């Protein structure tokens, strides 16, 4: 496969975070993005013009993950302060703080209707929080994990989470089943393919693994990058043709989905690439790094 159309030119550098940026996420339509980092702030940007729009400050420690509702009205975020914050985008105020995790919260996601926030914590649990009621108690705690839960993805009917215990667990709400796919390697990050049929798991043995969701079959392994000790993101391109992943040496890799060959790779940052996020429609990828910068790459 050719590397045509893959982003490789730096379009913008979003500077403003002091210290490592740990997460960078596009919103639903890809016009805006949110980043969170060690400086305990969440920042809202226009990545296509490189403009910093707003800063959300309230976290007591580093922000590890952030997610925005499809209607761009609310943000949820989590981090080292063991809380999940539920923000109002326009006012920048915290609507609710969900306390309950016994340890740092690694990842957070809204469900489809933005009515539930699911958070994954270092305390080996997934917690679902209700945004509709005023309760700050979790409506569900899933604690079948044996180790820190690093990443969570939600579909319409399922909660999928990857854990350091090496499993990717799918909780199907519709039938009340838990499917556990043991990969044998600590799972750092999981990412769903856009068609929802596959799940991409970044393992700490410097391998990305693509699993078939229905059968649990290992479809492909992607190697070449370094991922041994940091929480790093991976994702698929919006066409599901390539797999994108960062590396600890500051490079960004693009693999062909099918034959797992490295199609493109370039040095994006001077330090660990913590987060990669692909634009939902355009050929645009956003990378965040420990070096404190967020870069937007376009074709």
Q: Name the CA radius of gyration of the chain, rounded.
A: 17
Dihedral over alpha carbons 107, 188, 200, 149 (to 10 degrees) = -50
By CB under 8 A, is residue 112 in contact with another protein?
A: yes
Choice between 63 and 286, CB closer to another protein? 63
Torsion sign (Cα): 65, 70, 72, 73? negative
Q: Distance between CA 17 and CA 62 in Å, rounded? A: 11
Q: Least Å distance between CB 168 and another protein?
A: 8
Q: Least Å distance between CB 229 and another protein?
A: 7
On whether the CB atoms of residues 201 and 167 are closer than 8 A, the answer is no
Q: Distance between CA 247 and CA 276 in Å, rounded? A: 10
Encoded one letter per residue, x for contact with another protein by CB under 8 A and - for no contact, window 168-207 reads x--xxxxxxxxxxxxxxx------------------xxx-
- Structure tokens that stand for 106 in this block: 């690694």
Q: Least Å distance between CB 104 and another protein?
A: 6
Q: Considering only residues 200 through 239, tell me which ones interact with another protein, judged by CB under 8 A.
A: 204-206, 209, 211, 215-218, 228-230
By CB under 8 A, is residue 1 in contact with another protein?
A: no
Q: Least Å distance between CB 144 and another protein?
A: 7
Encoded one letter per residue, x for contact with another protein by CB under 8 A and - for no contact, window 150-169 reads ------xx--------x-x-
Q: Considering only residues 122 through 141, tell me which ones interact with another protein, judged by CB under 8 A.
A: 128, 130, 132, 139-140
Q: Considering only residues 37 through 96, tell me which ones interact with another protein, judged by CB under 8 A.
A: 38-40, 60-62, 80
Choice between 12 and 127, CB closer to another protein? 127
DSSP string for residues in 108-134: EEE-TTS-EEEEEETTS-EEEEESSSS
- Please give the DSSP secondary-structure letter assigned to residue 18: S
On whether the CB atoms of residues 79 and 38 are closer than 8 A, the answer is no
Q: Distance between CA 119 and CA 126 in Å, rounded? A: 6
CA distances from residue 163 to 93, 146, 180, 182, 183 in whole angstroms, order as listed? 31, 8, 11, 10, 10
Q: Distance between CA 231 and CA 148 in Å, rounded? A: 12
Q: Distance between CA 30 and CA 281 in Å, rounded? A: 7
Nearest Cα to Cα of residue 233 among 241, 242, 243: 243
Encoded one letter per residue, x for contact with another protein by CB under 8 A and - for no contact, window 5-44 reads -------------xxx-----------------xxx----
Choice between 30 and 162, CB closer to another protein? 162
Choice between 192 and 272, CB closer to another protein? 272
Task: State which of residues 104, 123, 165, 233 lies at the interface with another protein (CB under 8 A).
Answer: 104
Q: Where on the chain is the footprint of another protein (CB under 8 A)? A: 18-20, 38-40, 60-62, 80, 103-104, 111-113, 115-116, 128, 130, 132, 139-140, 142, 144, 156-157, 166, 168, 171-185, 204-206, 209, 211, 215-218, 228-230, 271-272, 290
């Amino acid at each position: 496969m050719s590397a045509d159309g893959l982003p490789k030119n730096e379009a913008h550098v979003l500077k403003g975070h002091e210290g490592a940026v740990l997460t960078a996420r596009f919103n639903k339509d890809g016009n805006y993005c949110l980043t969170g980092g060690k400086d305990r702030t969440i920042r809202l940007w226009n990545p296509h013009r490189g403009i910093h729009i707003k800063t959300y400050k309230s976290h007591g420690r580093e922000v590890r993950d952030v997610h925005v509702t499809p209607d761009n009205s609310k943000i949820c975020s989590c981090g080292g302060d063991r809380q999940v914050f539920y923000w109002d985008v326009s006012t920048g105020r915290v609507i609710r703080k969900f306390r309950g995790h016994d340890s740092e919260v690694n990842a957070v996601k809204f469900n489809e209707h933005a009515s539930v926030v699911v958070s994954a914590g270092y305390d080996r649990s997934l917690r679902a929080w209700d945004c509709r009621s005023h309760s700050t108690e979790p409506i569900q705690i899933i604690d079948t994990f044996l180790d820190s839960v690093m990443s969570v993805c939600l579909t319409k009917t399922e909660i999928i989470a990857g854990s350091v215990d090496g499993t990717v667990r799918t909780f199907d709400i519709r039938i009340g089943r838990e499917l556990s796919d043991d990969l044998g390697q600590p799972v750092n990050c999981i990412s769903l393919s856009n068609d929802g049929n596959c799940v991409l798991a970044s393992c700490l043995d410097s391998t990305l693994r693509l699993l078939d969701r229905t059968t649990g079959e290992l479809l492909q392994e992607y190697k070449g990058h370094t991922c041994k000790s940091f929480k790093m993101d991976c994702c698929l391109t919006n066409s599901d043709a390539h797999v994108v992943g960062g590396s600890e040496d500051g490079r960004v890799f693009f693999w062909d989905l099918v034959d797992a060959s490295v199609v493109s790779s370039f040095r994006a940052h001077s330090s660990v690439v913590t987060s990669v996020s692909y634009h939902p429609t355009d050929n645009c990828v956003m990378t965040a790094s420990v070096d404190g910068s967020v870069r937007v790459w376009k074709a």
